[in-house]
Structure 1
């Protein structure tokens, strides 16, 4: 897993669509409930492949990160295979900034997705007990 940065180009999603064209598309959960509108697309630093989308939920202007790997574009909309409530409760890291490996790991865990830790990932050291 590499860090992800917002970038306006590169990579493909499962449907071979340009990530730039995801911006502004409506996003729906697994049941067809509207989540919001795609605000930004984050690409993997190492591969340039789209990895995350920030979806403006409309709930206090908040963006929720959703994984693009299990998602797909259907009928000009992003279909995310998770419940709206899970998406709404995703960790909020703000948009327009680089996602750190730790933040990505939190997102993967939140969605119950398996991911290999990057070789440079530093696990927290347990504090020495007295």
Structure 2
């Protein structure tokens, strides 16, 4: 999905599964802690239903302004329920990635790490 979109513009948009079945309406957007890019959307699946979290990375905005999520509606509705309005912990995100069968990229190495050399090493 475009990472330059303002997450506030996603709220209120309709979301559809990969077959075109309506999932619901986007309630909230969760940003990646490290990059600030939109990472997850909480979709209200009905008037008295809970919100289902969907990953934004394999999803796409279509011309009519809706979000197309490349998963079946049943898988989306069965996603772990963490409630909305709170921060997603790394463990909760991991559960969601596993639920959707998505790979997690390994975290980047810490900045300014010189592998193979130590600060006090001497060439003898």
Smaller-chain TM-score bracket: 0.7 to 0.9
Question: 1:27, 1:83 → 2: CA distance?
Answer: 12
Q: How big is the alpha-carbon RMSD for the aligned residues of Structure 1 and Structure 2?
A: 1.7
SS in 2 for 1:42: strand
The separation in 2 between residues aligned to 1:96 and 1:117, in whole angstroms, is: 27
Match of 2:43 in 1: 55
Aligned residue among 26, 30, 43 for 2:31 = 43
How far apart are the structure 1 equivalents of 2:92 and 2:44?
Answer: 18
Contact 2:97–2:103 (Cα < 8 Å) also in 1: yes
- What secondary structure does 2:97 align onto? helix
Asked whether the equivalents of residues 3 and 37 of structure 2 are also in contact (C-alpha less than 8 Å), the reply is no
TM-score scaled to structure 2, two decimals?
Answer: 0.81
1:72-99 Cα shifts (integer Å, max 9, x gaps): 1102101000000000000000000000
- What pairs up with 1:83-102 in 2 under 5 angstroms? 83-102=72-91
Which residue, 5, 8, 18 being the options, matches 2:6?
Answer: 18
- CA radius of gyration, larger in: 2
Q: How far apart are the structure 2 equivalents of 1:61 and 1:112?
A: 24
Q: Tell me, what secondary structure is at the counterpart of 2:34?
A: coil
Superposition misfits of 4+ residues, deviation over 2 angstroms: 116-119
Q: Does 1:80 align with 2:108?
A: no
Unpaired runs of 5+ residues, structure 2, are: 109-124
Distance in 1, Cα, partners of 2:57 & 2:3: 11
Over 3 Å counting, the alpha-carbon distance change for 1:35 and 1:49 in structure 2 is same
- Residue aligned with 2:92, SS: helix
Question: With structure 1 as the length reference, what TM-score do the two structures score?
Answer: 0.77
Any unmatched runs of 5+ in structure 1? Answer: 1-12, 120-130
